[in-house]
């Protein structure tokens, strides 16, 4: 794709999602919240050279979570300089109010929280009708039963392994039971996990059934050697795959389009 308005077209989004679907699972999606915002273009190029497939956008509203991060206008600026699929996590009290802005900004996967959606079905269907993938997220205290009725409406599930809103927290291993529950209920459903992911916790998450690992500080190391960080994660992902039921080359595609 060329660096033009074409990046915002439905055809461009479909092409990005095709790349996303074709990537071997499990894979790592670095969280741009941890990159150097003064040189995002260089950071994206470095991630591309290191073999990254897509990136994770943490959108915080200062209400659902304590911190603020960035909005759709920033995502749109980033879309102008990259063809990475944008896995966009809306940590917001009212994600439906801003959905269209993030779709227009070139986001591809939209993640919303069950905690703010007593009935998530209308919004999940809006997301998919816009040509994006719909993912439903649950926080550490939220039981699997909260999302179980809606698994047929989603393209993926995100399990938070820390309390959302800030980086650098410690991984909460008890959430892996929810990963296992999702895997048992929908064996082919992509499952991502976010929070405290380092090499050792990556292995645990993959063994439980996670197919996507959202990683912040574990990729954006002070030495800038993102390829080395990803190689270390990949080694533990392979170890976790051997222990679990999800092989390294599993596609993990949604069961419906």
Residue 162, burial from CB neighbour count under 10 angstroms (0-12, 13-18, 19+):
buried
Helices assigned H by DSSP within 23-132: 40-49, 72-79, 95-104, 121-129
Rg over alpha carbons for the chain, rounded to the nearest Å, is 17
Whether residue 9 is predicted with pLDDT greater than 90 in this model: the reply is: yes
- Average pLDDT (202-206) is 97
**Residue 61 annotated as catalytic:** no
DSSP-assigned beta bridge partners for residue 68: 61
CATH number of 5-243: 3.20.20.70
**Residue 6 annotated as catalytic:** no
pLDDT category at 249 given cuts 50, 70, 90 is very low
Question: From edge to edge, which strands make up the β-sheet containing 86-91?
Answer: 27-30, 212-215, 191-194, 156-160, 133-138, 109-113, 86-91, 55-60
pLDDT tens-digit series, residues 212-243: 999 999 999 888 899 999 999 999 999 999 88
Model confidence pTM above 0.85: yes
pLDDT tens-digit series, residues 146-186: 999 999 999 999 999 999 987 667 999 999 999 999 999 99
DSSP-assigned beta bridge partners for residue 87: 56, 109
Q: What is the pLDDT of residue 254?
A: 36
Q: To the nearest whole percent, how much of the chain has pLDDT over 70?
A: 92
Whether residue 251 is predicted with pLDDT greater than 90 in this model: the reply is: no
Q: What value does the mean pLDDT of the chain take?
A: 92
Q: Catalytic residue among 58, 61, 87, 108, which? A: 58
Domain boundaries, the chain: 5-243
Q: Catalytic residue among 61, 87, 108, 194, which? A: 194
Cα–chain center distance at 209: 15
């Amino acid at each position: 794709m060329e660096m033009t308005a074409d990046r915002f077209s439905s055809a461009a989004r479909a092409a990005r999602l095709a790349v996303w679907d074709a990537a071997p699972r499990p894979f790592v999606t670095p969280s741009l919240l941890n990159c150097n915002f003064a040189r995002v273009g260089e950071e994206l190029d470095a991630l591309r050279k290191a073999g990254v497939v897509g990136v994770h956008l943490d959108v915080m509203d200062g209400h659902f979570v304590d911190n603020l991060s960035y909005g759709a206008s920033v995502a749109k600026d980033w879309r102008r300089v990259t063809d990475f699929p944008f896995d966009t996590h809306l940590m917001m009290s009212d994600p439906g109010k801003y959905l269209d802005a993030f779709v227009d900004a070139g986001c591809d996967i939209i993640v919303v929280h069950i905690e703010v959606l007593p009935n998530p079905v209308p919004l999940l269907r809006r997301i998919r009708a816009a040509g994006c993938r719909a993912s439903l997220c649950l926080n550490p205290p939220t039981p699997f039963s909260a999302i179980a009725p809606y698994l047929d409406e989603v393209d993926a599930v995100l399990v938070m392994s820390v309390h959302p809103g800030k980086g650098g927290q410690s991984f909460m291993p008890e959430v892996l039971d929810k990963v296992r529950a999702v895997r048992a209920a929908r064996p082919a459903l992509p499952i991502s996990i976010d929070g405290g992911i380092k090499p050792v916790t990556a292995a645990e998450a993959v063994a439980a059934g996670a197919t996507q690992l959202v990683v912040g500080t574990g990729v954006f190391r002070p030495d800038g050697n993102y390829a080395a960080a990803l190689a270390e994660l990949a080694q533990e992902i392979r170890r976790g795959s051997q222990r679990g039921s999800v092989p390294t080359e599993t596609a993990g595609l949604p069961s419906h389009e």
